[in-house]
Amino acid sequence: ITRAIWFRRDLRLNDNTALAKALENTSDDDKVFLFFHIDPNLNQTFDAQHDYFFQTLKALVDDAGHKGAEFHFIEGEPERAFDELLDTVDIDEVYFNSDEAGYGRDRDQRITKKLEGHDVLVYSFIDHHLHGAEEVEKKSGGYYKVFTPYYKQWKKVQKPAVQKVDLEKLAEHTIDETDAFSHGKQAFESLLKKSDRSFEDIGESPAREQLNHFLDDAVYDYDEQRDFPAVEGTSRMSKFLRTGAISIRTVYHAVNDQVDYRKNTEGVETFISELAWRDFYNMIHHFYPNAWDEEMVEKYRGLPWNDDEELFERWKDGKTGYPIVDAAMRQLNETGWMHNRLRMTVASFLTKDMLMDWRKGERYFAEKLVDYEPSSNIGGWQWAASTGTDPVPYFRVFNPTRQSERFDPHGRFIKEWIPELEHVSEKYIHSPSKMPDNEQEKSKCIIGEDYPEPIVDHKTMRVRAIEMFEDKK
Ligand code: FAD
């Protein structure tokens, strides 16, 4: 029997359900065939995540090589690519970790049908999330729309165990003649050549190291420190979870096995609840397939968003005159990551202070984030825009200056990202436009020249945002 394992966004050898199950069933003369499909749709993704993803894939190919296993690539439109695959290798069974939302879900359905039409057995698994979209159900049936009751139920459902992969079997049974797939290999190599950004942490080992680092210490204070962008108070696991360099089960069980519950458990519990948010948004996207383009709350469809491109450019470039917003956008543009507190702040600023369409912000994040996950990003944006299923209420508009005072009290984060404000005193760091002339000279920051005036007035825009929503009621 030949079993093909189709890798997608699960770029790891350890705790990988599809791989573990395929190998579990493999014995005697059976063969395994590891492959990745280079879908033209992947070219629609943007530079940062594209580069990071393919470099992680390269790390996986190398890791597999060290274990004596060969990786293969097919490329092109999914149907055609799979036809070629079936023509070339006599495959009996295909194993993969399924996508439950977005493009991946549609493609999986199409390819499953094709494979089954060729008498290939298809085994697909819930692997990207602790609980799949349909696993946490209301007692009365149906699915949750609000996080808190979802989370209560989520906690009660038994968590899947870590999947042990028999890596020795992998080497013994791997199919390694590669000639037939040289096209795919070339396509992969040319993608790698194009991906010229360099990143610090790529692949399984750095993912595990980062997790251990977080569990050694920061997890205990997570509940208190996770809102302060100047502090490394969060796990930084998102890019690894996005590429699948680490499994969500490994993360969850490591927390349970490694933490010392005699220390502060609030931090640990809060962290676990964030993992549940990831499942929650996957579930929401599964049940609202149009959520990437359409407000989940029907009455808020067609809000009269502002489409002033110049304002939008200022937001993107981190030149709004609100230091916390600008510092956050510069962090995003430069590193491909933004702190969660700031994702909420800049998303609120774009939608409520600038009255701009959340879709624009969602697309911009897609372009820049290394950890871009459609379900979490759409969920986060529709939360901030007050158009999602469990959003921030439209009348509770974030005050960006207040956010800055609370979460970056000394302006440390602001100064890290906005050198123009380096010498501004703590008194004015959150609203530099209030500096009197002598203070501007002293801090070598002339407002309007070195750093912009605020592009909007928060108080005025807050009222307008509330009115915009109330007009729709
Ligand atoms: P930690 O605080 O250490 O959290 C651990 C893990 O839990 C994260 O890696 C992530 O997988 C998950 N998680 C945490 N918070 C959330 C959340 N609110 N929703 C869903 N999952 C969560 N997260 C993404 O992974 N990709 C995105 O594209 C994305 N876009 C966002 C857009 C907006 C507007 C907002 C408000 C949030 C978005 N988030 C997104 C959620 C969150 O900001 C990031 O997951 C988090 O900042 C990643 O850093 P971390 O790994 O240090 O997080």
Residues 237, 310 within the same domain: no
| Ligand 1 atom at shortest distance from the alpha carbon of 241 | 11
Site to probe by mutation for ligand 1, drawn from 53, 213, 238 as the one with most ligand atoms within 8 Å of Cβ, is: 238
Contact predicate 381/332, CB 8 Å: no
Instruction: Determine which one of 381, 383, 417, 420 is catalytic.
Output: 381
User: What is the DSSP code (8-state) at residue 154?
Assistant: H
In tens digits, the chain (473 residues) has pLDDT values of 999 999 999 999 999 999 999 999 999 999 999 999 999 887 766 678 889 999 999 999 999 999 999 999 999 999 999 999 999 999 999 999 999 999 999 999 999 999 999 999 999 999 999 999 999 999 888 899 999 999 999 999 999 999 999 999 999 999 876 677 888 899 999 888 888 788 889 999 999 999 999 999 999 999 999 999 999 999 999 999 999 999 999 999 999 888 887 777 899 999 999 999 999 999 999 999 999 999 999 999 999 999 999 999 999 999 999 999 999 999 999 999 999 999 999 999 999 999 999 999 999 999 999 999 999 999 999 999 999 999 999 999 999 999 999 999 999 999 999 999 999 999 999 999 999 999 999 999 999 999 999 999 999 999 999 999 999 87
Q: Residue 113 is part of a domain; what is its CATH number?
A: 3.40.50.620
As given in the structure block, the two tokens for residue 186 are: 């070339």
* Total number of domains constituting the chain: 3
Contact predicate 311/354, CB 8 Å: yes
Q: Which of 323, 302, 325 is nearest to 312 (CA)?
A: 325
Domain boundary among 244, 267, 287: 287
Residues 327, 259 within the same domain: no
pLDDT, tens only, 3-46: 999 999 999 999 999 999 999 999 999 999 999 999 988 776 66
Instruction: Tell me the whole-structure pTM to 2 decimals.
Output: 0.96
Residues 111, 243 within the same domain: no
Residues 268, 324 within the same domain: no
Domain-embedded: residue 179 = no
Domain-embedded: residue 401 = yes
Residues 283, 215 within the same domain: yes
Residues 259, 384 within the same domain: no
Residues 219, 113 within the same domain: no
Q: Residue 244 is part of a domain; what is its CATH number?
A: 1.25.40.80
Site to probe by mutation for ligand 1, drawn from 278, 281, 372 as the one with most ligand atoms within 8 Å of Cβ, is: 278
**What does the alpha-carbon distance between residue 432 and residue 422 come to, in Å, rounded to a whole number?**
11
The pLDDT of residue 458 is: 98
Q: How far apart, in Å, do the first and last CA atoms of the chain sit?
A: 61
405 is catalytic: no
277 is catalytic: yes
Residues 344, 429 within the same domain: yes
Domain boundary among 234, 259, 287: 287
- Supply the range of the domain harboring residue 308: 298-470
Domain-embedded: residue 150 = no
The pLDDT of residue 446 is: 97
| Ligand 1 atom at shortest distance from the alpha carbon of 338 | 47
Q: Residue 441 is part of a domain; what is its CATH number?
A: 1.10.579.10
Instruction: Determine which one of 84, 340, 399, 416 is catalytic.
Output: 340
ipTM of the complex: 0.99
The pLDDT of residue 141 is: 87
As given in the structure block, the two tokens for residue 243 are: 């590429």
Residues 333, 259 within the same domain: no
Residues 281, 306 within the same domain: no
Q: Using CA positions, which residue lies closest to atom 45 of ligand 1?
A: 238
Q: Which residues are annotated as a binding site for FAD?
A: 222, 234-238, 271, 274-281
Residues 333, 463 within the same domain: yes
Residues 260, 348 within the same domain: no
Domain boundary among 100, 127, 154: 127
